[in-house]
Amino acid sequence: MITEIVSNFFANAPSDCGSLYHERSLQLELGCVFRGEGFAVEFERPIKAPRPVGSTKPPKYNLDLLLSKNGTTTAIELKFPMNGRHPETMYDFCADIEFVESIRNADKVNRGFCLMATNDKAFWNDSGRGSQIHDLFRRSGSVLSGLVGKPTGSKTDSVVVLGRYHLSDSWREIRDKHLLQRGRYLLVEIAA
């Protein structure tokens, strides 16, 4: 149901939905859509869980969206990059995946998703000038799993992704141009 609601949102958002300019606008508009579908929605919910061995990035504690309906809870982490920072944002998205995996594995939620939306084609278009982290988002067949090192700056930060995710093959067009012109979104269901 979550996948269908997100897909419908990006295909044909409600008429009272505003355009998307940053992560907060995405968070609020999606929250309104989920409430309209009967979900209880909590924003920036504090939540902690043990992290995988080997992860050295400072831990996250606030979940972007916590949804509840019919006794089922769903965690959603969001990214809405509009100002470049390609490898750093890609790394942060991997950290989001680690975070949602951790809270699922700790039985704090029943389901989890990570969502990125952007109109910056450098996130999904393989220019041939990438790196290992770029390839995870751009090159078909690439698999995100295991240790992911920080691509810039301090090389001591890393996250550990326990599941296997095919990010590059999951990009979808944002068809509702009122939301975002020439955009795409990446929705990944997180394994426990």
Ramachandran angles phi, psi of 27, nearest 5°: -60, -45
Q: Indicate whether 119 pLDDT > 90.
A: yes
Q: Indicate whether 129 pLDDT > 80.
A: no
The predicted structure's pLDDT at residue 191: 86
Q: Quote the tokens at residue 20.
A: 């998307």
- Each residue of 33-87: pLDDT tens digit? 999 999 999 999 999 999 999 999 988 999 999 999 999 999 999 999 988 788 9
The predicted structure's pLDDT at residue 180: 94
Distance CA 173, CA 171 (A): 7
- Give this prediction's pTM: 0.96
Number of domains in the chain: 1
Q: Which domain holds residue 138?
A: 2-189
Average pLDDT rounded to a whole number, residues 88-102: 96
User: Longest C-alpha distance within the chain, in Å?
Assistant: 47
Q: What is the DSSP string of the chain?
A: -HHHHHHHHHHS--TTPPPP-SHHHHHHHHHHHHHHTT-EEEEEEE---PPPTT--SPPP-EEEEEEEETTEEEEEEEE---S--HHHHHHHHHHHHHHHHHHHHTTS-SEEEEEEEES-GGGT---S---HHHHHHHSTT--EEEEEE-SSS-TT-EEEEEEEE--GGGEEE---TTT-TT-EEEEEEPP-
